[in-house]
């Protein structure tokens, strides 16, 4: 559960709400227009549906969920786990790792350890693990790009809605008293597009990109760890190598714990 | 037949239509202007004709068709096919694959198997297959870039049309009653440009890019599979290697089937 | 002579002309303003002169000419030529190629054949030919980038002209009757910038980029062909390798012809 | 303490202040609007909170501090240090470096020297040092990207605030006397967004990117120096090699000092 | 002294001046506004000061000077020099080059020749020369990026100034007669920003990028030449290799001269 993203969304919408309510002579009702919502939200979704195969489009919910419910791997404890596996392998041999597979809940470590225990050749292990990393990177990028596109389409459909509103308004200029309200309604669509894009889609896409990068880093650490364990490296050397991936502060803690 | 893209297009245009029809005091007729269509659609097409050799420009229809009628290779069944070929080769030798070429309808697999059966050297096979992949990637990118450009030119010609309309309107300001309608007509061109670009060209280009990536992934899987078959790898190892290309869920199914 | 680009330019300007003439109350004269032309065309040219050494700037005419008068190498017939050279070399030895150099009008093939006949070492041939490819790529990119820049400067100077027009207009507001025409004149500069950029410079740059890519592809095919001929590869294998560079359809034709 | 950045910020805000105060009929009060500040600053911060994990978001203060308080490594004196270490190693052997570790306050040099003294194999030293460089690059990029995003979100929220202000104003058009001030207030939000982005966030991000590049260059010099020291290269050759990293002028000074 | 850039600047400003003077009812005075200049020029400079360390910021003058006073190395005569050095080395041995160092005024050639004469190993020579190339590329990119940034900040501060002007104008709407002139003054800042960016900063940055590319090409030619001389290659082969870097026309001249 990622508190920052939830607080961020609440803050963004709370601030805009507050700014509307403070303003003299404004009312929330003036900021609600169903057809505008339809054009912006519906249009962005429709454009995303055209842009992607159905399966990828439908997967966007599961992808977006990660923004809030991500279990960012704790890199320090990941390194501790690998070092502890390296100590077992160093003390009792590679085969002793088999008994420890059950206690590890990171599937990528298990995959590597299993292959090492099975005596798979190092090149094959590295090849399979790196292909897996590439595949994960591709899948994540695909998921992110649906949200990215929606963040790009939303302001465009906001502008489309505003142009539609302006054209309708300009066609009814006899009634000059309604020009102001007609224009206000027209602008709402642009406002919706800007809000949806800048307070939801773009930050979500940014966060997913960030999380992906972090997961790929964890996987990279695991590959290097497994390769070093299989090569029979000294656990202390492995720890030193892997620790370079994390900032010095986090490192100290890891060393104490190890 | 890709249902998502068709539903997406219908939804995008349906929503805009609905928003127009709901709006009080608006009529569909106010949103039709032939010269605007001419400038936006004609201009984008003309600019694309200048930008590309005739052959590539004319090929855009065939390329756009792929947005709707693509047969995305089912990667799982592709892997099954390769694993089954690997089993044949493992059991009865490489030459036994010749009899199975007819049952395979993926031409790229056939090309690879044929070369392997003919005893072509592995480096040559890989070289030819990778050149083919590069060539397919280039052809796809060329096709996509025509649509990409039209998506970029459409809003520009929308703005050009609007500027033309404004200049005409500003030259006839004596009749103040027509200012509103003149401006409405001027804005229609920008609206057309934005719609054509965001509901058609850009999503189409995005989808083509996505499909291309997927086809290249299939070809990559085939190359690795053929190389592994020729090297005489164990079918189980081949399956494990290729499965890393697909998400764990899809993988389970493939393993059951194999 | 590239018909698509000429038709495209005629179509783009024809459509805009037609849209102006159809519009009620408009006249072509309203769309002509000498100072606006001066600012947009002159400004873009001046900015390009600042941006590039004189020689490159002056070369832009020759570069732009290629948009219309390009002899896109026919890749199929190029491959046929190379395969036929390979057959000669296979039958009568490398030295027999010397007598055929005169009949070839592609200078890059001649360069390669000459070096092969002279007994230059393969690494040296490949090194020299690849350096030539890089040099051609760089020269083309330089030529393209002058037009690219003009496509980027034109709308900017369009906006500069419009701002100048608006400032003049706003300084003469006493005469309210001239506001409309003043604003119309101001907008003409933006219109010019948009047209010049989107109907000329940007499509030209796009096309040059496309032609460059195609020439580099031809050169790549030639390098691979020459290297294969020198290595004494079988003409059929060379044909198969080079054919992967072209789409299957074009390929069939080439094979029949060969 | 980086004087340029402080002078720059004071100059940017001072100039804008002066321009306001000089203008006839303007007052500073007209440029203050609390809800606008709330939407722009609050919105950018909220969007950044959604975009990044809490830890990275909270680290932005420490990152921004570097804009002002950076101790850009003096590359010349860095090279002097390495050359002096090389002289010690050349004269008294690698182990003699151990006694000099304490006098060096660059931790990355210490790390390398310690490993060299410990007799770690060159490949391992280079691997560990390069991993550290990559990790530093990643951490810096992460820090910079928070500020980058805020520079991108600020103008967007500026536009959102202006749209909100315009909609409120257009809903209260009966009172025509307030239109001007309503519009002024609406525009303030766009102004805030532009200022915050162009005078703070974007220059900060640019500077951080620049500082990062410089730190990575220092680290690269150190890696090459340590590797050369361990390989027993002549101190003069090491000096010549490392000096190529700095401009000829700075170089002269370094050579005199050495 | 680069005539194109000077003519370009004079032309750009001359054209804009002419357009203003031709326009009926306009005066140059209407286009001068000190606070606007202050905000645009001052603001861009201030933002650049925040973005870069003081040293880099102050170096911008020297960098900008190169736009006008660059001595673009004549690549043809550079190749002639290298070929003539190769002939000396071929005839009288590598050591004979020492006597020719004084007559060469390109310091990078001297560096290479000196190292070759000193008997430095080829890998070391190439390593040192390539590091120098990388370092020159980095220094040039740093210099260019200051001007690049100013080209990006100028329009932003133009917009900031215009928003400030609009807000002041909207706060003084009682006096409707001054609305026009208030708005004109407001727009001047945007005009300044657009001119400064598109007629000065962006073309300057483009030109610097172009010059840098050309200098790096010269350095690349020198490295290849020196390496070939040291390897004892035949001067004719060296000439042929290096000539591939220049267009066929320039090449013919070089060959005659050689």
Tell me which residue in C180, C194, C197 faces B163 most closely, judged by beta carbons.
Answer: C194
Q: Identify which of A102, E138, C97 has the alpha carbon closest to the alpha carbon of residue D213.
A: E138
Q: Do A15 and D42 touch (CB under 8 A)?
A: yes
3-class DSSP string for chain E: CCHHHHHHHHHHHHHHHHHHHHCCCCCHHHHCCHHHHHHHHHHHHHHHHHHCCHHHHHCHHHHHHHHHCCCCCCHHHHHHHHHHHHHHHHHHCHHHHHHHHHHCCCHHHHHHHHHHHCCCCHHHHHHHHHHHHHHHHHHHHHHHHHHHHHHHHHHHHHHHHHHHHHHHHHCCCCCHHHHHHHHHHHHHHHHHHHHHHHHHHHHHHHHHHHHHHHHHHHHHHHHHHHHHHHCCCCHHHHHHHHHCCCCHHHHHHHHHHC
Per-residue DSSP letter, B176: G
Tell me which residue in D184, D202, D245 faces E167 most closely, judged by beta carbons.
Answer: D184
Q: Do B199 and A48 touch (CB under 8 A)?
A: no
Tell me which residue in C180, C207, C217 faces B51 most closely, judged by beta carbons.
Answer: C207
Q: In Å, how far are A78, A90, C242, D120, D217 from A106, measured between CA atoms?
A: 9, 21, 47, 32, 36
Q: Do C8 and B160 touch (CB under 8 A)?
A: no
pLDDT band for position D257 (cuts 50, 70, 90):
very low
Those residues whose C-beta lies under 8 Å from the C-beta of residue A43, and which sit 6 or more positions away, are A153, A154, A156, A157, A160, A161, B12, B15, B16, B198, B199
Are the C-beta atoms of residues D106 and D225 closer than 8 Å to each other?
no
Are the C-beta atoms of residues D142 and D60 closer than 8 Å to each other?
no
Of chain C, the percentage scoring pLDDT greater than 90 comes to 48
Q: Strand, coil or helix: what is C23? A: coil
Residue showing tokens 């809940």:
A105
Q: What DSSP line would sit under D179-217, residue for residue?
A: HHHHHHHHHHHHHHHHHIIIIIIHHHHHHHHHHHHHHHH
Measured from the Cβ of residue E172, the count of other Cβ atoms closer than 10 Å reads 18
pLDDT band for position E44 (cuts 50, 70, 90):
very high
Mean pLDDT of all residues in D62-85: 85
pLDDT at E152 over 90: yes
Question: What is the token pair recorded at D177?
Answer: 């006397």
Q: Identify which of E138, E161, E122, E211 has the alpha carbon closest to the alpha carbon of residue E43.
A: E161
3-class DSSP string for chain A: CCHHHHHHHHHHHHHHHHHHHHCCCCCHHHHCCHHHHHHHHHHHHHHHHHHCCHHHHHCHHHHHHHHHCCCCCCHHHHHHHHHHHHHHHHHHCHHHHHHHHHHCCCHHHHHHHHHHHCCCCHHHHHHHHHHHHHHHHHHHHHHHHHHHHHHHHHHHHHHHHHHHHHHHHHCCCCCHHHHHHHHHHHHHHHHHHHHHHHHHHHHHHHHHHHHHHHHHHHHHHHHHHHHHHHCCCCHHHHHHHHHCCCCHHHHHHHHHHC
Q: Strand, coil or helix: what is B247? A: coil
Dump pLDDT digits (tens) for B160-208. 999 999 999 888 777 777 788 888 889 999 999 999 999 999 999 999 9
pLDDT given at position D250 = 67
For residue B38, the Cα-to-chain-centroid distance in whole angstroms is 26
Dump pLDDT digits (tens) for A220-253. 999 999 999 999 888 988 898 888 888 776 665 4
Measured from the Cβ of residue C233, the count of other Cβ atoms closer than 10 Å reads 18
Q: Identify which of A65, A24, A20, A48 has the alpha carbon closest to the alpha carbon of residue A195.
A: A20
Mean pLDDT of all residues in E42-48: 95
Radius of gyration (C-alpha) of chain C in whole angstroms: 26
pLDDT at E88 over 50: yes
Are the C-beta atoms of residues E76 and E239 closer than 8 Å to each other?
no
pLDDT given at position E65 = 86
pLDDT given at position E228 = 92
User: B127: buried, middle or exposed (CB in 10 Å: 19+, 13-18, 0-12)?
Assistant: middle
Q: Do B244 and A56 touch (CB under 8 A)?
A: no
Q: Identify which of D72, A193, E53, A51 has the alpha carbon closest to the alpha carbon of residue B206.
A: A51
pLDDT given at position B172 = 79
Enumerate residue ranges in chain C where pLDDT < 70: 1, 72-73, 249-258
Rounded Cα distance, D48 and D56, in Å: 10
pLDDT at A255 over 50: no
Q: In Å, how far are D84, D225, D243 from D80, measured between CA atoms?
A: 6, 11, 10
Chain B nearest CA to C53, separation (Å): 26
Residue of A51, A115, A153 to mutate, testing the B interface (most B Cβ within 10 Å of its Cβ): A51
Are the C-beta atoms of residues A193 and A157 closer than 8 Å to each other?
yes
Q: Identify which of D84, D34, D73 has the alpha carbon closest to the alpha carbon of residue D236.
A: D84
pLDDT given at position B63 = 84
Tell me which residue in A2, A20, A179 faces D53 most closely, judged by beta carbons.
Answer: A2
Rounded Cα distance, A200 and E247, in Å: 53
pLDDT given at position B1 = 62
pLDDT given at position C102 = 87
pLDDT band for position D182 (cuts 50, 70, 90):
confident
Q: Do A54 and B4 touch (CB under 8 A)?
A: yes
pLDDT given at position D187 = 95
Q: What is the ipTM of this complex?
A: 0.87
pLDDT band for position B3 (cuts 50, 70, 90):
confident
Q: Identify which of D81, D99, D76, D95 has the alpha carbon closest to the alpha carbon of residue D230.
A: D95
Dump pLDDT digits (tens) for B123-164. 889 988 998 898 888 888 888 999 999 999 999 999 999 999
Are the C-beta atoms of residues A222 and A108 closer than 8 Å to each other?
yes
Chain E nearest CA to C155, separation (Å): 10
Query: Looking only at Cα atoms, what is the longest distance across chain B?
Result: 91
Dump pLDDT digits (tens) for B5-36. 899 999 999 999 999 998 887 788 889 999 99
Are the C-beta atoms of residues A85 and A113 closer than 8 Å to each other?
yes
Model pTM score: 0.90
Tell me which residue in B49, B149, B170 faces C184 most closely, judged by beta carbons.
Answer: B170
Mean pLDDT of all residues in E229-249: 85
Q: Identify which of A21, A41, A30 has the alpha carbon closest to the alpha carbon of residue A160.
A: A41
pLDDT given at position E72 = 67
Dump pLDDT digits (tens) for E91-104. 998 888 988 888 88
Q: Do A4 and D50 touch (CB under 8 A)?
A: yes
Q: Do B207 and A51 touch (CB under 8 A)?
A: yes
Per-residue DSSP letter, C200: I
pLDDT band for position A73 (cuts 50, 70, 90):
low
pLDDT given at position A254 = 41
Dump pLDDT digits (tens) for B42-100. 999 999 999 998 888 888 888 888 888 877 668 888 999 999 999 999 999 888 898 88
Q: Do A168 and B197 touch (CB under 8 A)?
A: no
- Count how many residues are written for chain B: 258
- Which residues in chain B have their CB less than 8 angstroms from residue A48's CB? 8, 203
pLDDT band for position E148 (cuts 50, 70, 90):
very high
Q: Identify which of E117, E167, B105, A112 has the alpha carbon closest to the alpha carbon of residue D184.
A: E167
Q: Strand, coil or helix: what is D53? A: coil
Q: Do A245 and D135 touch (CB under 8 A)?
A: yes
pLDDT given at position A72 = 67
Q: Identify which of E153, B170, E241 has the alpha carbon closest to the alpha carbon of residue C169.
A: B170
pLDDT given at position C255 = 45
Dihedral sign computed on CA atoms, order A157, A159, A162, A167: negative
More confident residue, E178 or D85: D85
Q: In Å, how far are A96, A116, A254, D157, E184 from A90, measured between CA atoms?
A: 9, 13, 20, 57, 79
Q: Identify which of C162, C161, C167 has the alpha carbon closest to the alpha carbon of residue E16.
A: C161
pLDDT given at position D180 = 82
- Which residues in chain B have their CB less than 8 angstroms from residue C15's CB? 38-39, 42-43, 46
């Amino acid at each position: 559960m990622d508190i920052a993203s939830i607080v961020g969304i609440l803050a963004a919408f709370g601030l805009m709400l507050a700014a509307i309510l403070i303003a003299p002579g404004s009312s929330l009702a003036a900021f609600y227009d169903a057809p505008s919502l339809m054009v912006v939200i519906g249009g962005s979704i429709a454009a995303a549906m055209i842009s992607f195969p159905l399966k990828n489009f439908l997967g966007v919910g599961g992808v977006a969920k990660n923004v809030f419910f991500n279990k960012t791997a704790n890199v320090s404890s990941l390194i501790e786990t690998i070092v502890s596996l390296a100590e077992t392998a160093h003390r009792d041999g590679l085969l002793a790792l088999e008994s420890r597979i059950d206690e590890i809940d990171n599937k990528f470590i298990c995959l590597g350890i299993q292959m090492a225990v099975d005596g798979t050749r190092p090149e094959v292990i590295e090849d399979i693990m790196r292909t897996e990393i590439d595949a994960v990177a591709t899948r994540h990028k695909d998921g992110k790009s649906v949200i990215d596109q929606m963040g790009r389409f939303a302001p465009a459909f906001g502008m489309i809605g505003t142009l539609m509103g302006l054209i309708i308004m300009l066609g009814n200029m006899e009634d000059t008293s309604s020009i102001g309200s007609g224009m206000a309604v027209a602008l709402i669509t642009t406002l919706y597009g800007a809000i949806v894009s800048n307070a939801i889609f773009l930050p979500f896409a940014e966060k997913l990109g960030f999380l992906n990068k972090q997961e790929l880093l964890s996987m990279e650490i695991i590959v290097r760890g497994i390769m070093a364990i299989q090569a029979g490296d000294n656990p202390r050397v492995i720890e030193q190598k892997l620790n370079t991936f994390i900032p010095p502060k986090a490192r100290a803690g890891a060393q104490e714990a190890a």
